[in-house]
């Protein structure tokens, strides 16, 4: 099964994305890719993996950070999300899909500020079945979590998080996932779940939110986005391929 | 400073399905009705950009703003109840149409067995089938008595379906519109269940198979199968909702007005009658009293119970003594099921919220429970609601939850996964109940409602029995890998499960064991009516809205009769 499916997915992706995947496959490329994406603020939109010479990328204007204040923090976030959703032969990873920019934007808004959550005290530690009981906002959790990733990189490997190899990054992320990292005001496994979920949101949300660049997340997955209707296709015995559409407008 | 407004005949608290139905029926009879809605006005024109999974399905655009009001929760009386700070297990609605705007449209009638569950269980299995900890009771109304009201709701909503299920109650009329399209995915389920000796039928749907004009003259359009129903509003006016049916029908009489941003905090009472309600304008925080001859609580399960509690109407249930009825018999549902991973790609992203096929062979008392340690069961359905990429990342067992293997598996299986799910009926238990919280308050200074709930042995036994049935179906459908849902232990309020919360303001034939009579009229205040899934004495194996709609028509008849004749209707 796998061979046939992979072939289909890859063909579909290549056909629609215009990305020269050959140049991007392979573990060593990712580090360089991240650097290219994050160190060149002035040309941030032209990061490899997101370009492909499409109209969207050339017409979009400058890109910057609205929550994070330091590029160093943003680079840690970028690499962590890339480990969660990596570049491969199916298509771009989190960085190529602009997931870090998506997360940065969301942390600056109502998501990061918990504006639709009950944040009144008193706060008590509860049972796991009672859910989120932290007084921290999500953007505070992300900030703290990223600082701790840096600290873990220093204490475990005596270097910066962004300079670790993939396996070393995974070791630290796994420690967060397994609740082995001591965080203040929140458990690390809760933060990790947020990070994982936000990565998937950035990969697959409508590109109007700044992620899912060129709708490549949707292309990989075979989801056509905003189609008006499937009434004429829903009885089809065959799988229906469609070029995805965003709900956004062209400017 | 409280401003007292001019008195009206009827005031409803909330304008969703129940408030809309009460308003339409009473206004047609010439009663002046005011609906108080804490949220905003909205309608079909607000949903032209609704194909947005992130805003609507993930960030809950149409749902209750918990920064203003939530509930507190604990699994048992020994725990400290803590606020549900984020939505999770269930999604509470807000705004015109309420949860009737963002529902899927699966529209069932509860079984005849449901309404007389205590009598029928005792008769068939003896009085000791369940321990005395399970507080099952008859509903004080039979299916046959409620049938005309079911019929009424289905005609108002234009429900699409087929009368091919041998296990449900007798219908006086067929469905107003034919069933939806039987897609290849549904045909797969149909063939598998037929081969297993079961009896599949098209799930009754409020996503209409064709354009329809209801008896009130309101038009509902034909479903386009766009795949954005649950958690979304319909941009086509093709998913029946209160704001395209009963609300305009009420408005056209000239006897109905909706006041938006009006959050009711108290039902006013004098002697053995209510006099109206007190509410806050949520924009200015001005306080108003809306006097009325009849008050109808038409908000969600949680808020209906809370308003009675904070207004000190009725006797709060006490699990230690078993005394009191208010807050008693809160029930939820359990969701057994199995996922199948298939070789070939399927159009899983196309669909509609109520596009599905079901079997009832393991629901209600359709099968013998003599050798089983539970009663009731579940409807089993294959629904094609439209899978969306953020929240649908199916992976076979033992796949990591992130990284390269996760990415590959979740992408491959997104269009190669089908699930069969059961909606397991939940029996009430003496330790599961609603009360007022003593610590936490909403932004109006009113105590939050407190939920004490856990799954019981009955739930766990039913879950494992039904899970096996769903696995068999998925296997028969040709899945290369079948992943059955794990067994359940403690109820967890974090992951989404179902917005089918019931009980707390239960109906019945006896004031000692129920909050309202079978016209949904409060036993302690004859001009107060309380209607919704809170009236259910237990939870059944289906989505609740069809039964809620029937109860709302029953209630409307009660309000009209009471307005003419007065007195207790029971």
Q: How confident is the model at residue A19 (pLDDT cuts 50, 70, 90)?
A: very low
Sign of the torsion angle spanned by Cα atoms A153, A158, A161, A166: negative
Sign of the torsion angle spanned by Cα atoms B468, B469, B475, B479: negative
Nearest by Cα to B290 from B258, B314, B254, B313: B258
| Helix axis angle, B184-195 to B457-476, nearest 10° | 110
pLDDT digits (tens, 9 = 90+) for B352-405: 999 999 999 999 999 999 999 999 999 999 999 999 999 999 999 999 999 999
Residue A60: the pLDDT is 57
Q: Is A219 on the interface with B (CB under 8 A)?
A: no
In this structure, is residue A162 part of a structural domain?
Answer: yes
pLDDT digits (tens, 9 = 90+) for A211-229: 999 999 999 999 999 999 9
Reported as type and span, the H/E element at residue B281 is strand B273-281
Evaluate if residue A4 carries a pLDDT over 90: no
Q: Cβ–Cβ contacts within 10 Å for residue A27, how many?
A: 12
Reported as type and span, the H/E element at residue B73 is strand B71-74
In this structure, is residue A247 part of a structural domain?
Answer: no
Cis amide linkage into residue A142, ω under 30° from 0: no
Q: How far apart are CA A129 and CA B325, in angstroms?
A: 27
A116 contacts in B (CB within 8 Å)?
59-60, 65-67
Q: Is-contact B307 B264, C-beta < 8 A?
A: yes
Reported as type and span, the H/E element at residue B291 is strand B287-297
CB contact under 8 Å between B82 and A237, yes or no, is no
CB contact under 8 Å between B224 and A132, yes or no, is no
Sign of the torsion angle spanned by Cα atoms A145, A151, A155, A157: positive
Phi, psi for A34 (deg, rounded to 5)? -65, -45
Q: How confident is the model at residue A251 (pLDDT cuts 50, 70, 90)?
A: low
Residue A25: the pLDDT is 33
B49 contacts in A (CB within 8 Å)?
247
* Mode of pairing for the β-strands spanning B356-359 and B201-202: antiparallel
Number of helices (H) and strands (E) in chain A: give both, helices first: 10, 0
In this structure, is residue A243 part of a structural domain?
Answer: no
Q: How far apart are CA B286 and CA A103, in angstroms?
A: 38
Residue with tokens 């897609």: B183
Which structural domain range is residue A112 located in? 3-221
| Helix axis angle, B143-157 to B545-565, nearest 10° | 100
More confident residue, B124 or A45: B124
Q: Which residues of chain B have pLDDT under 70?
A: none
Q: Which residues of B are catalytic?
A: 500
Q: Is-contact B234 B47, C-beta < 8 A?
A: yes
**How close, in Å, is residue A203 to chain B by CA atoms?**
8
In this structure, is residue A238 part of a structural domain?
Answer: no
Q: How far apart are CA B502 and CA B511, in angstroms?
A: 19
Residue B1: the pLDDT is 85
Evaluate if residue A37 carries a pLDDT over 50: no
More confident residue, A5 or B214: B214
A130 contacts in B (CB within 8 Å)?
73-74, 79, 82, 84, 493
Q: How far apart are CA B559 and CA B167, in angstroms?
A: 33
Residue B542: the pLDDT is 98
What is the rounded radius of gyration, in angstroms, for the C-alpha atoms of chain B? 23
Q: Least CA distance to A89: which residue of chain B?
A: B408
In this structure, is residue A80 part of a structural domain?
Answer: yes
Domain count, chain A: 1
The rounded Cα A239 to chain-centroid distance in angstroms is 28
Secondary structure of B167-195 in HEC code, one letter for each residue: CCCCCCCCCCECCCCCCHHHHHHHHHHHH
Nearest by Cα to A127 from B72, B393, B20: B72
Q: Is B164 on the interface with A (CB under 8 A)?
A: no
CB contact under 8 Å between A88 and B440, yes or no, is no
In this structure, is residue A141 part of a structural domain?
Answer: yes
Residue A61: the pLDDT is 72
In this structure, is residue A233 part of a structural domain?
Answer: no
Q: Is A115 on the interface with B (CB under 8 A)?
A: yes
CB contact under 8 Å between B480 and A9, yes or no, is no
In this structure, is residue A43 part of a structural domain?
Answer: yes
Residue B399: the pLDDT is 97
Could you give the domains of chain B? 3-565 (3.50.50.60)
CB contact under 8 Å between B480 and A217, yes or no, is no
Residue B541: the pLDDT is 98
Average pLDDT in chain A: 82
What is B18-36 written as a DSSP string? HHHHHHHHHHHTT--EEEE
Q: How far apart are CA B185 and CA B273, in angstroms?
A: 55
């Amino acid at each position: 099964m796998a061979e046939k499916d992979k072939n289909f997915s890859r063909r579909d992706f290549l056909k629609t994305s215009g990305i020269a995947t050959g140049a991007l496959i392979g573990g060593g490329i990712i580090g360089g890719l991240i650097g290219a994406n994050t160190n060149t603020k002035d040309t941030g939109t032209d990061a490899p993996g997101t370009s492909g010479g499409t109209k969207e990328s050339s017409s979009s204007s400058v890109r910057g950070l609205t929550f994070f204040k330091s590029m160093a923090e943003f680079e840690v976030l970028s690499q962590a999300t890339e480990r969660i959703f990596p570049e491969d032969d199916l298509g771009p990873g989190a960085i190529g899909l602009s997931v870090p920019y998506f997360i940065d934007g969301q942390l600056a808004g109502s998501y990061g500020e918990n504006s639709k959550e009950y944040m009144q005290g008193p706060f008590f530690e509860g049972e796991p079945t009672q859910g989120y009981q932290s007084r921290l906002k999500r953007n505070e959790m992300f900030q703290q979590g990223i600082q701790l990733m840096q600290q873990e990189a220093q204490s475990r490997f005596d270097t910066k998080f962004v300079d670790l190899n993939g396996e070393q990054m995974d070791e630290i992320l796994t420690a967060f996932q397994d609740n082995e990292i001591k965080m203040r005001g929140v458990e690390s496994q809760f933060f990790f779940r947020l990070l994982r979920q936000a990565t998937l949101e950035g990969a697959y949300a409508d590109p109007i939110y700044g992620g899912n660049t060129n709708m490549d997340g949707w292309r990989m997955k075979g989801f056509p986005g905003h189609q008006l209707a499937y009434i004429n296709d829903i009885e089809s015995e065959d799988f229906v391929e469609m070029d995805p559409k965003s709900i956004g407008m062209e400017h | 400073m409280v401003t007292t407004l001019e008195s009206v005949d009827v005031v409803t608290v909330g304008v969703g399905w129940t408030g809309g139905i009460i308003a339409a029926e009473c206004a047609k009879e010439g009663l002046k009705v005011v609906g108080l809605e804490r949220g905003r006005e909205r309608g079909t024109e607000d949903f032209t950009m609704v194909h947005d999974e992130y805003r609507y399905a993930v960030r809950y655009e149409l749902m209750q703003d918990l920064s203003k009001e939530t509930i507190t929760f604990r699994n048992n009386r020994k725990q400290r109840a803590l606020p549900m700070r984020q939505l999770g297990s269930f999604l509470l609605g807000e705004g015109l149409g309420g949860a009737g705007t963002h529902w899927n449209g699966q529209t069932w009638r509860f079984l005849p067995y449901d309404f007389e569950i205590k009598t029928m269980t005792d008769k068939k299995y003896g009085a000791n089938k369940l321990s005395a900890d399970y507080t099952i009771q008859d509903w004080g109304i039979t299916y046959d008595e409620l049938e005309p009201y079911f019929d009424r709701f289905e005609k108002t909503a234009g429900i699409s379906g087929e009368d091919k299920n041998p296990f449900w109650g007798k219908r006086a009329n067929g469905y107003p519109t034919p069933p939806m399209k039987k897609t290849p995915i549904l045909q797969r389920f149909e063939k598998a269940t037929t081969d297993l000796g079961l009896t599949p039928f098209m799930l009754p749907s409020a996503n209409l198979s064709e354009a329809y004009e209801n008896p009130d003259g309101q038009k509902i359009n034909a479903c386009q199968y766009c795949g954005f129903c649950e958690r979304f509003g319909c941009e086509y006016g093709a998913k029946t909702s209160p704001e395209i049916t009963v609300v305009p029908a009420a408005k056209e009489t000239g006897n109905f007005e909706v006041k938006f941003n009006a959050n009711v905090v108290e039902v006013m009472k004098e002697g053995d009658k209510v006099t109206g309600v007190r509410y806050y304008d949520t924009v200015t925080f001005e306080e108003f009293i809306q006097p009325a001859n009849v008050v109808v609580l038409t908000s969600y399960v949680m808020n209906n119970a809370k308003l009675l509690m904070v207004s000190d109407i009725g006797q709060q249930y006490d699990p230690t003594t078993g005394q009191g009825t208010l807050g008693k018999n809160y029930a939820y549902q359990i969701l057994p099921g199995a996922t199948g991973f298939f070789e070939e790609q399927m159009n899983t992203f196309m669909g509609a919220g109520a596009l599905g096929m079901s079997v009832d062979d393991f629901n209600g008392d359709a099968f013998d429970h003599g050798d089983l340690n539970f009663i009731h069961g579940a409807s089993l359905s294959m629904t094609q609601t439209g899978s969306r990429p953020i929240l649908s990342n199916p992976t076979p067992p033992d796949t990591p939850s992130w990284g390269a293997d996760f990415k590959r598996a979740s992408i491959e299986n997104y269009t190669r996964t089908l699930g069969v799910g059961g909606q397991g009926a939940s029996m009430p238990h003496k330790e599961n109940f609603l009360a007022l919280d003593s610590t936490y308050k909403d932004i109006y200074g009113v105590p939050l409602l407190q939920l004490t709930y856990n799954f019981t042995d009955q739930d766990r036994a039913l879950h494992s029995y039904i899970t096996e049935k769903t696995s068999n179906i998925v296997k028969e459908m040709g899945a290369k890998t079948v992943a059955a849902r794990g067994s359940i232990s403690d109820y967890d309020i974090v992951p989404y499960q179902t917005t089918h919360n019931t009980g707390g303001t239960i109906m019945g034939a006896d004031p000692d064991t129920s909050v309202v009579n079978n016209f949904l009229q409060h036993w302690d205040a004859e001009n107060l009516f309380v209607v919704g899934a809170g009236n259910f004495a237990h939870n059944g194996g289906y989505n609740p809205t069809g039964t809620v709609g029937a109860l709302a028509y029953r209630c409307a008849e009660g309000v009209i009769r009471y307005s003419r004749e007065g007195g207790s209707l029971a």
